[in-house]
A and B are shown apart, each in its own frame.
Chain A
Amino acid sequence: MEKEQDRGVGRYICRCAWQSLKQKLFQSVLLGCFAALVAFLVFAGTLLGSSMESGIGRMKERLGADLMIVPHGQQGKTEKLLLTGNPEFSYLDRDLEQVAANTKGVKKTTSQFYFSSVSADCCSTRVQLIAFDPGTDFAVLPWINQEEMKKTKKGQVLIGADVIAQGDHTIRFYGEKHPVAGKLSRTATGLDQSVFMTRDTMNKILEDAKKKGFHFLSPKDKGKVSAVLIKAEEGANLDKIETSLLKKATAKGDKIDIVSTQKVIGTVSAQYEFFRKGIRFLQILFILTSSLVLFLIFSFSYRERKKEFAVLRIVGVTTGRIRVMTCTQGGMISLIGGLIGLLTGALVLFPFRVLISDSLQVPMITPAAVTIAFVALMALVLTVLLGVAAADIAIRTLGRAETYFTLREGEA
């Protein structure tokens, strides 16, 4: 072994393998493409699935409320708000909060007011603005650093993970700058594209909006809220609470819808499950297809190179070493293809993360760097192993031909 190392056998084998790949450029590119496809699907598919799983997990933790009372006709829009953060606003009477609080099975209630900034010069960006009541809130406050909250003064806001503040740590709404007191951690929901504030700040911004000609509330709507959030008691029947609330609101003359966050999560989870199964199916399908294609291309390539292997046998190269040479070649091309596949996966997945999440309507949280590195490594190892195995099986199948007859093929 030591002697072989001195002779640089490994280096020579690698050079031979590289030369063969260069000589059969079309075949090499084809092999590389299939290897890249395997790596891409394993890497991107696994990360996408993992991101969605984390996203749904965080969404479950973060939604806080079990039920939300929203104005009639706003159910779908509210669900959309939770998932994508698209600004929508309409209002209902605040006394519904008290009605809900007096309903059996309800543990806590709080109200929120939604409005939005606009895509105009007066505002930094168009985002959903959410005003909450610090006195009763149980949906936003648990996710805000209490120290940050204490520091938050009137006029200051807290921004979602995807909202970008200006260089001077402010954000401008309707011509007025608001200092950013803190940034919330990622939720993978529409809340990441929202800005949070107390009711005092909300009233200030509404006044500023009015000055700029944006009327969110008519005089008769003063004191209204966008949603009443309900936290049910442990083990309470949500359907019963929903029915009871609908009855009470109807008796009161209010038209409402009730959003069950569990149902929203259930829909999202079902979408994720469908997507996960689809990805898994595609991964298995493409791994099997690519393995077969790699094997066929290697077989074809080795059939063309039969004479080369016969020559190696004549000069005293063992069948084992010929296998090492062909496997090195298989490993090399699948490594190159695998790296290209990983790079493509990263280029597709990371910059378009939000777009993918929005179009699939499933929240996504990008895994930690160490997880990404681990998935990339696993995808690369799998791709290289597939390449090596395909090359090995192909050369073993061919190895049965006798050197003598191979050499005499094509002789006059």
Chain B
Amino acid sequence: MLIRAKNLVKNYEREGVSHRVVDQVNFTMDSGEFVIVKGSSGSGKTTLLNLLTGILKPSGGSVFFEGDDLKKMDDGKLSEIRNHRISYIPQNDTLLSNLNLWDNLRLPFFLGKGGDLKEGELNERLKVLLEEFGLSDRKCSYPRELSGGEIRRALIIRSLSLSPDLIIADEPTGSLDPLTTLTVMEKFRRIAKEGIAVLAVSHQPETFPFGDRLYEMKEGRLLPAKVFTNKK
């Protein structure tokens, strides 16, 4: 089992009143699985993803990555996991405005632990990914010079750069045109087949069939919605 959420709870305090945003979520994922989570705005999807990456600390319950409780890990260990084991693609633009695209893509390698990769291997991999996502000619562009769709694609490339075990993506196709949406989902499908687990939040029904399992987030609870027969 790659990742497991056990009785996961998250409460927020708003105007002095406690709100439960994630409510007793139990969930597991194995390597090579592609899971999609749908749900209305404010249902707690993004909070759940942040709990699974260890960015947020749970109010109750635990998240286990390969059996280790994220809550008990120190900053170094947790950062190492986020650097090249769990790759997170947030909903909003998270490229650094002061670096060009090429340097943004190499950021996790240089500033994190970087895994076992060598710089040359990383560069080769990035070149292939840039080609695949149609961004080869944008290598030297700064984020302000990129369109919303190009930024989404760049974030996906960054998430794939260090060969993680799990990719967690929040609305990865949110601002993409139908054709690129298809390309991205096919790419996720393909990497899941290569053994990397993918967990994506999506609103777009046309993306659901790419997953192995579909969940729905409703008032903080994670409910199984559908099982597809994509695997293998």
Contacts and interface: CB of A to CB of B under 8 A. Distances in A.
Q: Tell whether A pairs with B.
A: yes
Interface of A: 6-9, 12-13, 15-16, 19-20, 22-23, 307-308, 310-321, 325, 402-404, 407-408, 411
B39 interface: no
A398 to B, nearest CB: 16
B161 to A, nearest CB: 10
A316 B56 contact: no
A23 B82 contact: no
B112 A19 contact: no
B96 A308 contact: yes
Given A12-B110, A314-B94, A321-B111, A402 B79 contact: no
Interface in B83-118: 83-84, 88, 90-92, 94-99, 103, 106-114, 118
Contact of B158 (A19, A307, A310, A315): A315
A315 B82 contact: yes
Contacts of B36: none
Contact of A402 (B56, B75, B97, B110): B56
Interface of B: 46-47, 50, 53, 55-56, 75-76, 79-84, 88, 90-92, 94-99, 103, 106-114, 118-119, 158
Contact of B94 (A8, A319, A407): A407
B56 to A, nearest CB: 5
Given A404-B56, A411-B92, A318 B98 contact: no
The 6 closest A-B pairs by CB, nearest first: A316-B83, A316-B112, A316-B82, A12-B110, A315-B108, A19-B98
B87 to A, nearest CB: 8
Nearest to A318: B79
Contacts of A16: 96, 98-99, 103, 111
Interface of B is mostly: helix
Contacts of A311: 94-96
B76 to A, nearest CB: 6
A256 to B, nearest CB: 77
A9 B75 contact: no
Given A23-B98, A317-B111, A403 B55 contact: yes
A315 B80 CA distance: 9
Contacts of A13: 110-111
A316 B55 contact: no
